[in-house]
Amino acid sequence: MCYWVGTKNVREEMQRRRGEDPSNEIAQLFYDSFLKDDPQSVFREYYVAIGKSNPRLSVLLYDDRKGLHFSDMRWGLDWSYTDSKTGKQYSRQLINSTSEKAFFVHKDIIFSQRCVIPLDGYYEFFHFAGQVYPYFLHPVAAEGLFYAAGVWQETVNTETGEITSGFSIITTPPNPLAEKLHNNPKAPNGPRMLLILPHKEIMEYLNPKTSKDDLQALFQPFPQNRMDAYPTVRFLKKEFSGSIASPHVRKRVDYPELAFA
């Protein structure tokens, strides 16, 4: 499952991109939103954000009212479906959503409420010889950042009137690297990876006028040669739980037994 992501180095990379290319619209928007003297909001930084704990992340989106902007949202989208034949209702929270079912599951929002989440990487858990090893998947230096594609929606609490915004990250079939690392035998959808958009495709994905065919054409595995991965400390174990909020979670650990994997 693609439930662990990182954003800690996004700020530094956005600053670098803005310095190298002042015409970079997203880097400039990031500066205006989070870095200038009177920032509009606080960028959410994590060495690792765990989806099942519903962390809040800074999300890039477009709407007619505000145009292109960043918004603070909860990771996790409340979803429900009523079977028209049986009348039975199904509901669950979607942290991830498969690209193959996105136009059915999110038929009410996918054409108008798409978003992009800037990341410095994400984690997968490699299963080998009865043990589990976390790997940090990250963009190569020339790539800089991952831009994960998602959908979002607002939910109104009928009792309090409170409005909350949540998002779900779309996943695709994996490239060979992600396929090797996402090998959990219990994964319900088999090996997957985040839907990562090349920088040049971000605006097309966010544009509400983009057609269904053109959107589907973007639902492709991110090229393996533009990313890399390494094993890290086993931060989900109790003795390493304090690593989640520290640089230690990114430390490379070369487990000798993985030479045989």
pLDDT at 253: 95
pLDDT surpasses 70 at 121: yes
Q: What is the pLDDT of residue 7?
A: 98
Q: Residues 204-218: pLDDT tens digits?
A: 999 999 999 999 999
Can you tell me the mean pLDDT for 108-135?
96
DSSP states along the chain: ---EEE-TTHHHHHHHHHHH-TT-HHHHHHIIIIISSS-SS-----S-EEGGG--EEEEEEEETTTEEEEEEEEE-EEEEEE-TTT--EEEEEESEEEGGGHHHHTTTTTTT-EEEEEESEEEEEEEETTEEEEEEEEE-TTT--EEEEEEEEEEE-TTT--EEEEEEEEEEPPPHHHHHH---TT-TT-S-EE-B--GGGHHHHH-TT--HHHHHHH--PPPGGGEEEEEB--TTSGGGGGGGGSGGGG-B---GGGGG-
Confidence (pLDDT) at 34: 94
Considering the entire predicted model, what is its pTM?
0.93
| C-beta separation of 234 from 134 below 8 A | yes
Supply the pLDDT for residue 1: 61
Report the pLDDT value the prediction gives residue 30, as an integer from 0 to 100: 95
What is the arithmetic mean of pLDDT over 190-213? Answer: 96
Phi-psi region of 76 (alpha: psi -120 to 50; beta: other; left: phi over 0): left
Q: Percent of the chain beyond pLDDT 90?
A: 77
* Residue bearing the bigger pLDDT, 119 or 83: 119
**Number of domains the chain contains:** 1
Residue 238 — very low, low, confident or very high, per pLDDT cuts 50/70/90?
Answer: confident
Indicate whether 39 pLDDT > 70: no
- pLDDT tens track for 18-37: 999 999 999 999 999 998 87
User: Mean pLDDT of all residues in the chain?
Assistant: 92
User: How confident is the model over 173-198, as a mean pLDDT?
Assistant: 95
Query: Range with the lowest mean pLDDT among 159-168, 177-186, 226-235, 249-258?
Result: 159-168
- Where residue 6 falls among pLDDT bands split at 50, 70, 90? very high
Range in 6-10, 121-125, 191-195, 243-247 with the lowest mean pLDDT: 243-247
What local confidence, expressed as pLDDT, does residue 82 receive?
80
User: What is the token pair recorded at 258?
Assistant: 């993985």
So what's the pLDDT on residue 33? Answer: 93
Predicted pLDDT at 40 = 62
Return the CATH number at 256.
Answer: 3.90.1680.10
Q: Is the pLDDT of residue 56 over 90?
A: yes
- Going by C-beta distance under 8 Å and a sequence separation of 6 or more, which residues neighbour residue 37? none
Q: What's the CA gap between 83 and 56, in Å, rounded?
A: 31
Is pLDDT at 226 greater than 90 in this prediction?
yes
pLDDT band at 111 (very low <50, low <70, confident <90, very high): very high
Domain holding 86, by residue range, is: 4-260
Residue 236's pLDDT is what? 81
Average of pLDDT values for 68-91? 88
